[in-house]
Structures are given as C-alpha cells and as structure tokens.
Structure 1
Amino acid sequence: MGLFDIFNRQRQNGHNHAMAIENAIPDIPEETFIEKEKPEKEQTEEKAVTASIGGIHLLYDFLDKNYESKGYNDALINPDTTHLEQNVIALKNDLERSIRKVKTFYEDFIKQINFHITSRSRSGMVDTVEELTVKKEIAENHIKQVKEIEEQSKLNEGVGHGIIISYTRGFRNGLAAISSHIILNKNF
C-alpha cells in the first residue's frame, strides 16, 4: 500500500468518494449561466448620437429637413395664405430657437474648456492643454458659423432662408394641386 492509496481506496460501505460528490451536486441547467441571445447594440449607438446633439449638428439637422413636403401637405389641409404666413413665421421662430440652443451649448462648452485649460496648465499637462485648445478652436469656429447663419436669416438670405423658400414652394405646389384637381380637370 502506497502513501497516496488512502485517497483512491473505496469506502467501507462500497462507494467511491467521487461518486458521492457527483450524486450530492444536482445538475444545473445551461440556461442559468449561458445567455444565448446576442446583446443589443442600441446603447452604444445612443451614446454616439447624443454626443453631437447639442452642437452645430442640431442646427444642420433642422436646416436639412424637407420643408417643401410640409408646405405641400399644409396647403392641402388649409389652403389659406394667412396659414402660409403663420407657418413661415413659425419656421423662423423654430430656426431662431435652434440657433439659440446651439449658441448656448457652445458658450457653456467653451466655459468648461477654459476651466479645464486653466486647471490642466497649472498641473503641467501640456499635451492635454493643447488638445483642449484645439477643441476650443473648433467650438469657436462652429459658433462663428452659427452666428453667420443667424445674421443671414435675419436678412432673409443664406441657408436659413432656404427653409422658407422650400416651405413656400411646397405650399404653392399644394395650392396648384388643389386647383388642378378641382377646377382644371373639369370638362365643360
């Protein structure tokens, strides 16, 4: 009998120690620990979208919408020219509100960057300060573009005025469609 035979010998009642352990532990189903469904990737996409929401992208998203189809549909609902004028005023107000949101976003962002530049420069973090300075320059360029769009929209020029032209064109096309359907298609 060897030194380690005591571990391998059978118990006096005829059972292996290993068999007793196997019988004492119940089987656990695979579903308890293994998730077979793939995780959704929506969470990472939301983070990418929300990062750019407050910046100049908000303004360009507003300017890139199709206002011609909106004007066309509005004309079909209410073909009154006062309705056109009210909606043009509403569009101008929406543009002004979007511009204010973007300007506020960048003003706050620049204040935060200035704080970080000051505190990181005191700590001697030269590379970080340079990166922050670049971010600040980008933000200042964006706010400059926003101010140009704001000035142009006040003068009824530029990309801000493009939404008014697009909406008016759609509204007039809607009026023409109504006339074509009601009057021009009638035979007398």
Structure 2
Amino acid sequence: MRWFTIFRKSKDTQHAAEAPPVNAETVSANSKPQLNGASIHDGQGIFLIYNYLQQDFETRGYNDALTSPDEGYRNDNIKLIKYDLEILIHQVRTYHDSLMKDIEFHIHSRERAGLIDLVDELRIKQSDLLDHIEKVKAFEQAVQTNTGLCERAILSYKRGFMKGMASITQAYLLTKKF
C-alpha cells in the first residue's frame, strides 16, 4: 500500500510543478494601468501627495486620543501632519524639477534627430507635468493657509481625536453606577 501512496504523491507534485500559475499574464499586464502605451500614473509626483491626504486621519486621531487624550498631544500631532505634508511637497517638487530637466533634454535631443512624433508626445508629457507642478504649488499654499485638502486632513484628525476622547469618557465614567 505504501508504494502506491509514494507514487501518487510524486505524480501529484509533478503535475503541480507543470501547471502554470493562474492568471499570471493578467496580473503582470494589469499591474500598471495603461493608456495608449503610456502609464496613467506611476505612483510618483503629485500622486504621493494625494495618497498621503487619503490616509485615514480620523482613525489615527482616535488611536492617538486613546494613547494620550491631551490637547497638547493633539496639537503636536496636527503640526506633524502638516510638517509631513510639507516634506512630501518638497520631495515632489524636487522630483518634478528633475523630471522636467529630463523631458527638456529629451525634447531637444530628439528634435535634433528629427523625431517629430516623439517630440510631440514629450511636449504633451511636459504640459501634463506643468499642470502637476501648478497643483503642487496650490497644495503648498493650502498648507500655509490651512485650507483645501490640507484642512480636510486636519479636520478628519480632530474628529477622530474627539471621538477617542468621547469613547474614553463613555467607557470609564458613563458606565459607572452611582
């Protein structure tokens, strides 16, 4: 009996090794959204700022309130949110500046080579990059004035912090019987 199970196991492992992974091509093909051969976005540049601002600041504020329900602690964390956003904006501006230099170099060199269609595509990319640079400047101004999406992140954090403080009060004081 044992011989049969040994042979069965070796055949099963052999078939498993020969079987291709399920949807391997679709996973690799869909890993980066494509539009006419160009990526929509690569998670760099302004998209880093959007990703940061889409964080769940409310849960973060709630957890911080459970850690230390102190107004000074809350204000420090709000400052940290703003400072982190400022750092991110500076990183994105540096990335955009470097990318703009690369695009300008490629435009000039490909223009000299007579690659007109490629130069036109590069100018479209350059135009998109200029739009992103303007949006980053708007983010930078919003951080300085506490408006826009920056204000949304701070309000969300404050709301979570208040919910955390209310949760502490409800758990410890409102459940007590006098």
TM-score (norm 2): 0.79
1 CA distance for matches of 2:30 and 2:46? 19
CA contact (8 A) 1:120 1:129 kept: yes
Matched, 1:63 2:46: no
CA contact (8 A) 1:67 1:170 kept: yes
1:76 is displaced (CA, Å) by: 0.7
Pick the aligned partner of 1:75 from 65, 68, 73.
65
The 10-residue stretch of structure 1 (105-114 or 39-48) with the greater mean CA deviation from structure 2? 39-48
Pick the aligned partner of 2:20 from 37, 43, 52.
37
| 1:1-188 mapped onto 2 (5 Å cutoff) | 35-38=18-21, 40=24, 52-188=42-178
Read off the aligned partner of 2:20 and give its amino acid letter: E
1:16 matched residue in structure 2:
none
Rg: which structure is higher?
A: 1
1:21 matched residue in structure 2:
none
How many residue pairs align between the two structures? 157
CA contact (8 A) 1:75 1:175 kept: yes
CA contact (8 A) 2:32 2:42 kept: no
2 CA distance for matches of 1:54 and 1:35? 38
Read off the aligned partner of 2:67 and give its amino acid letter: I
CA contact (8 A) 1:54 1:101 kept: no
Structure 1's unaligned 5+ residue stretches are 1-28
CA contact (8 A) 1:121 1:129 kept: yes
Provide Cα deviations, 1:104-157, integer angstroms capped at 9, x if missing partner.
Answer: 111111100000000011111111111000000000101100110110111011
TM-score (norm 1): 0.75
Read off the aligned partner of 1:35 and give its amino acid letter: E
Structure 1 ranges of 4+ moved more than 3 A: 39-49
Structure 2's unaligned 5+ residue stretches are 1-10, 34-38
Provide Cα deviations, 1:12-56, integer angstroms capped at 9, x if missing partner.
Answer: xxxxxxxxxxxxxxxxx9x6xx8323274565566669x612221
Read off the aligned partner of 1:158 and give its amino acid letter: G
